[in-house]
Structure 1
Amino acid sequence: MKNLKILASFQTKKFKYGGHAALLTAIVIVLLIVLNLLVEQAPVKIDLTENRMFTLSEQTLQILDRLEQDVVIYGVAEPGKENRMVDEVARRYSRRSPRVSVEYLDPYRQPAFIKRFDQEGKGINEGSYIVVSGDKFRVIDRWDLFNINYQNPFQPEVTGLVAEERFTSAIMYVTAEKNPVVYALKGHGEEELPFNLRERLRQENYELRELTLVAKEKLPEDLDLLLVFAPKRDLTTEEEEKIREFLNAQAQGRALFILNWYVADLPNFQSLLRSYGLKLQPAVIVEGDANRHAGNPVWLLPEMKEHEILTPLVNERMPVLFPLAQALEILDIRRRSLEFTPLLATSAKAWGKVNPNPTTAEKEPGDLEGPFTLAMAVVDKEWTEETGEVESRLVVTANSHFLATQFLLQVPGNLDFIMNSLNWLADREEVISIRPRSLIHLNLQMSGWQKLIYSGIVVILIPLLALGAGVVVWLRRRHL
């Protein structure tokens, strides 16, 4: 009798509906498991992060598509202890190009193999990466894969991921026949290049050398780019002539001038600039717009104009800080072949203090009226039947203080501005747009009313809707 009741219960409508619901639930769970397994094996990965942190730039994709040599990216890490963010970026390279492979080296099981790449004998940190092609390699230290803000030295803050920039630069280095050579001019009291700049030059595959023009009949043949950093003494007439020959459009010379405002008049340097239609204005710039300085009216936050050098900084909202800047002026009388593009400029509320030792930052009679140009890109074009159109390029900044270590550490845009300028001068525009992915998470700002409304929706409205739906379903099933 009891067995008959049990059998009869299987025939009821409640059992049928309940069985159908259970079966449907089981099917959905199985489908989700199968779908998850299939997606995990799929070669296509979708980057759903807010700032597309793991999406390779168009410039990197073009470099990978043109690869003609095999490249191996070795990660130094114990199995299962890889940095997941960096590993995902590295594997995007291998997914894009069959020429690139990613492998990991266990520092405790393969120390001898890793030591082959330790040329300086300082050791290779766990978490570092080694990019290899043929006999050439580049070691990327784990700390170089991130931007770190040392404003608080006791609590450094990781602000950005620069893995793509480092990997792409390393691939370009190990696959290139020749890397650009930068010569820093010496012999005129020039300042030493900051360590951060020298390290960044190395990371972006520039060879840095020093150039003394005295007793040299001609400039080095491998000179690709001339860097003049804060000279305190003037050029000789012979030195000026040699630099003019290098910067001739037919020679396709490239130069970056970083000058100081407080230096005494340097007539030969000024003459060189005038030949390219520029003049340094003898004034210290003071910004009258509170939104365009960093709390001190001579610590300028200039407007960034439209140019390839500045596009990544504008897109990433990375400001440039120019303290104690001088201004550049375009001469009315200049060669027609010259093209000028202002890079950084003040607001119209700025003024220039003509007194080199002012007692006040306030505007006084005789001070210059703004706006002012603080950095300029100059192109000198020439066309002949033999060579077609050729050009020389210059970038001139009327300030060197923005490259002081304290500003390079606290304002990443300063170093990026200089590196973008060098890459533009060296015709390496493909490197300019590969810039850090921010790791800073901004908190959502809400007013008191907004918090109250959203709290009511989440805590009261949504639970009531769920309870109401449950009651409706229960009432309908109750009458089945």
Structure 2
Amino acid sequence: MKRFAQGSAAGMSTLLLWAAPLLIIAGLSAGFVTQRWNWLPLSLLSLGGIALLLWLIQQSRVSSGFWGRRSTQTSTNALLTVIAVIALLGIVNFLADRYTLEIDLTENRAFTLAPETRDVLQNLDQPVRVLVFDPNAASRDRLLLEQYRRQANGQFSFEFIDPQEQPALAKKYNVTQVGQVIVVAGKKTQRIDENLSESNLTPALIRVTSDRPIRAYFTTGHNELPLIGGAASLSEVAKLLEQRDVQLQPLNLLEKGKIPEDANVIVVAGPRQPFLRLEQDLLKEYLNRGGSLLLMLDVDVNAGLEDLLKNWGLTLDNRWVIDGSGVGQQVGLGPDTIIVSTYGNHPITQRFAQGPSVFPRAQAIRVDPVKDDNIVEIALSGPQTWAETEWKSGNLEFTEGVDTKGPLPIGVAITRQLSNNPPKEARLVVFGDSEFATDGVIAYQGINSDLFVNSVLWLGDRDQKALSIRPRETTNRRLQLNVTTSRWIEMISVFLLPLVGFGSAVFVWWRRR
């Protein structure tokens, strides 16, 4: 009986010895990770303290010289080692939860948020909730939303909701099908009907947190490019602008007789008839009082805006820029279509890197800087391009001394300081082509839409928040095998490799025998 009692005491002592540090570390970890010292971490700490106290009392009663024994010192060292290891694991887990480190090794950085998105998230000044009405959402959606949450400094949260279990909430936000996403900030909401992605979630965030929209007026009455229609329209870029809370309005200067006071940007997109003197004066006056104007002017078209451009130190070259590199021809483009991959250092283009944009039948812009103006050539043709003088004849060959060799500016952005107190400036962006923003050209998958959208947003004074974000395209890396190759791979993996392994084992056994 005495031996049985001693064995039971020893077992209880070992149990308390292990339970005490585990409970203490669990309580500390729960409190630090959740930052809530509620009943759970406090209960774990209390149980750990009680277990440690009971163990000490039991050891003291068993032996009066307990603390002087060598076994006690060894056990104490072991206990301290266990506590240190568990504490280290708790600290590592705490740091991993608070400060995550991710390395994106994918080819197109598919799991890395764009700098534009990080700027928007880090500047959120109000809480934003994302409600995904799909209880079984894809793991990529959860990963994307978790990335947003980590970048938003506590201002971003998300929730996956089953519309069948919460029909009242689904009715409140007019959810009609599973998979719809609602972005909520205060009283403003924005619906996302397509698959959740960075290219549609970030614009939705901007729209619900914006304190004011940009109003962009597109001039009419001169056979400009339409906002709706087919390949020759601006419908795709118009849709992108509307997603970024840009209100698009038509403006007939002759009928209106003035430029609306709420106009943030005026867009002149590919006019085919000249602006009359009254209209020219209205645009000049608009710029002189601190307005923003986007001009997209085609070659050999008299838009009647020469005087306005001259006041800003610009002249249209009125010759086609020809691509002599042959790169465009490899993808089915003619020599009169240039591929631009060189951009100036400007908020419109600062994140483009070397992405290509396509300009069909573009003209260069001659720049004679006006004093104190900040002029940036935001898009330049390559060194193997030239401005062709005989472009009308179809003889597209470079002639030394007659044609102008590239690089040539295709797009120019100018900022003019009008006054310092109060600060006031005018902004002008000019492209020597209008087709680059049409639906038919954007289909080439370049960054044409980014170039146009970012120009409008910069002119509307939103260059730091709402720059365009394109969806990430995943390269198809699938290996297509024919039937014969598939059978050989199957035979090698199922029969030959196991046979080689088994034969090697038999050979080693035989040699050792």
Q: TM-score, normalised by structure 2?
A: 0.67
CA positional deviation for 1:289: 1.9
Within 1, Cα distance between the matches of 2:97 and 2:373?
54
* Structure-2 residue corresponding to 1:97: 153
Residue 86 in structure 1 maps to residue 122 in structure 2:
no
- Tell me the TM-score normalised to structure 1 length: 0.71
Question: Match for 2:170: what amino acid?
Answer: I
Tell me, which stretches of 5 or more residues in structure 1 are unaligned? Answer: 1-30, 146-162, 445-458
| CA contact 1:302–1:321 (8 Å) conserved in 2 | yes
Q: CA contact under 8 A between 1:125 and 1:141: conserved in structure 2?
A: no
Q: What corresponds to 2:335 in structure 1? A: 297
Amino acid at match of 1:328: I
Aligned residues of 1:311 and 1:433 also touching (Cα < 8 A) = no
> Do 2:342 and 2:382's aligned partners in 1 also have CA atoms closer than 8 Å?
no
Compare relative contact order (CA 8 Å, sep 6+) and give the higher one, 1 or 2. 1
Kindly, what percent of the aligned residue pairs are identical?
26
Are residues 1:106 and 2:106 paired?
no
The answer to whether the aligner puts 1:340 opposite 2:375 as a matched pair is yes
3-state SS in 2 of match to 1:187: coil
Q: State yes or no: 1:259 paired with 2:297.
A: yes
8 Å Cα contact 1:131/1:171 also seen in 2? yes
Q: 1:133 to 1:59 in 2, by over 3 A?
A: same
**Residue number in structure 1 paired with 2:67:** none
- Give how far 1:399 is off: 0.9
> Hey, what's the Cα distance between the residues in 2 that align with 1:184 and 1:394?
15
| Deviation of the 1:226 alpha carbon | 1.0
Equivalent position of 2:81 in the other structure: none
With over 3 angstroms needed to count, the CA separation of the structure-2 counterparts of 1:41 and 1:301, relative to structure 1, is closer
Report the counterpart of residue 172 of structure 1 in structure 2. Answer: 206
User: Secondary structure of 1:304's match?
Assistant: coil
State the match for 2:395 in structure 1: 360
How has the CA–CA distance of structure 1 residues 433 and 187 changed in structure 2, closer, same or farther, with 3 Å as cutoff?
closer
Indicate the residue corresponding to 2:128 in structure 1. 71
Which amino acid is 2:178 matched to?
A: E
Are residues 394 and 126 of structure 1, via their aligned partners in 2, closer, same or farther at CA, if it must alter by over 3 Å?
farther
Query: Is the aligned partner of 1:373 residue 2:409?
Result: yes
Note if contact 1:312-1:435 (Cα within 8 Å) is conserved in structure 2.
no
Task: Determine the structure 2 residue equivalent to 1:403.
Answer: 437
Aligned to 1:227: 267
* Among candidates 210, 219, 235, match of residue 185 of structure 1: 219
Matches of 1:405 and 1:330, distance apart in 2: 29
2: CA distance between counterparts of 1:57 and 1:173?
18
Contact 1:83 1:127 in 2 (8 A): no
The counterpart of 2:456, out of the listed 415, 419, 422, is 422
Q: How many residues get paired?
A: 389
More helix, by proportion:
2
Residue 110 (structure 1) shift: 4.4
Q: 1:326 aligns with which of 363, 385, 405?
A: 363
Equivalent pair of 1:299/1:322 in contact (CA under 8 Å):
yes
Pair 1:56–1:208, CA change in 2 (3 A): same
Write the distance in 2 (CA, Å) between the matches of 1:411 and 1:55: 21
Q: Distance in 2 between matches of 1:394 and 1:289?
A: 31
Name which of structure 1's ranges 38-47 and 230-239 shifts more when overlaid on structure 2. 38-47
Instruction: Give 5+ residue unaligned stretches, structure 2.
Output: 1-85, 228-233, 480-495
The residue matched to 2:433 in structure 1 has which SS?
coil
Structure 1 position 213, deviation (Å): 1.2
Following superposition, the deviation at residue 125 of structure 1 comes to 5.0
Q: Alpha carbons of 1:349 and 1:171: their partners in 2 closer, same or farther (altered >3 Å)?
A: closer
Which amino acid is the alignment partner of residue 362 of structure 1?
E
State the 1:218 CA deviation. Answer: 3.0
Q: In structure 1, what is the Cα distance between the partners aligned to 2:181 and 2:384?
A: 49
Pairing partner for 1:312 from 340, 351, 372? 351
| Partners of 2:183 and 2:189 within 8 A in 1 | yes
Q: Determine helix, strand or coil for the equivalent of 1:170.
A: helix
Give per-residue Cα distances to partners, 1:367-408, cap 9 Å, x unaligned. Answer: 522212211111212344x324x3211111111122232321
Tell me whether 53-62 or 165-174 shows the greater mean CA deviation.
53-62
Describe how 1:199-214 pairs up with structure 2 within 5 A. 199-214=239-254
Question: In structure 1, how many angstroms separate the alpha carbons of the residues matched to 2:341 and 2:98?
Answer: 43
Contact 1:262 1:356 in 2 (8 A): no
Q: Residue 274 of structure 1: which of 310, 330, 335 is its match?
A: 310
- The 1:97/1:299 distance shift into structure 2, 3 A limit, reads same
8 Å CA contact 2:236–2:438 kept in 1: the answer is no
2:110 maps to 53
Q: Could you say what the CA RMSD is over the residues aligned between the two structures, in angstroms?
A: 3.5
Amino acid corresponding to residue 236 of structure 1 in structure 2: L
Equivalence for 1:447: none
CA 1:125–1:410: 2 relative to 1, 3 Å: farther
